[in-house]
Amino acid sequence: MTENKNNITRRRFLRESVWGTLLGGLGAILGFVTRRSRASDTVWQIDPETCVACGNCATYCVLEESAVKCVHAYAMCGYCTICFGFFGPEPANINTGAENQLCPTGAIIRTFVEDPYYEYTIDEKLCNGCGKCVKGCNTFGNGSLFLQVRHDRCLNCNECSIAAACPSGAYKRVPADKPYLLKGMDHA
């Protein structure tokens, strides 16, 4: 078991490192674009503590494919065998059959790590930002899945149409050089 936990810890460390590097890269690109094309030095972002995963993020974006995607805070995840963000209510079987999955687009990849741990990864190309997995994880799990505006996609509209439709006031403007509000991390 000690060996298992060490492996999990190493995986988490690697994931967090990759995540931090990815966001840093996107932040740098965004900073460049923002400086070049807009007077504003703020961008839209979702406060994951306030979002109620209502579904509007999938349908109210001006883009045909929403700029909002699900992301995963691996440090908060329980690596559960039965993930309530992955499996629909009362699945017929605990396997990756499409009929057992909650995600309507099959965007969550379930990978066996070591008994009894499974890792859940979001394929952002498939994610439509519907938030179904977020609601499941928040209601019955650790809340490690959450929604974020992806700044490689977002147009940074003056009036974000999702923000106008958001029932919980979760959209806010944040500094362009700190464009993500990540769960389990210091946002200051």
Least distance between ligand SF4 and beta carbon 40 (Å): 11
Q: Per CB under 6 A, does 46 bind ligand SF4?
A: yes
Q: Per CB under 6 A, does 149 bind ligand SF4?
A: yes
Least distance between ligand SF4 and beta carbon 10 (Å): 25
The contact pattern for ligand SF4, residues 2-41, with x = CB under 6 A and - = no contact, is ----------------------------------------
Q: Please, which residue, 44 or 87, has the CB nearer to ligand SF4? A: 44
Q: Per CB under 6 A, does 71 bind ligand SF4?
A: no
Contact with ligand SF4 (CB under 6 A) among 23, 30, 57, 71? 57
Q: How far apart are CA 81 and CA 63, in angstroms?
A: 35
Q: How far apart are CA 184 and CA 75, in angstroms?
A: 7
Q: Per CB under 6 A, does 63 bind ligand SF4?
A: yes
Least distance between ligand SF4 and beta carbon 110 (Å): 12
**Site residues, ligand SF4 (CB under 6 A):** 44, 46, 51-54, 56-57, 61-63, 67-68, 70, 103, 105, 107-108, 122, 127-133, 147, 149, 154-157, 160-162, 165-168, 170-171
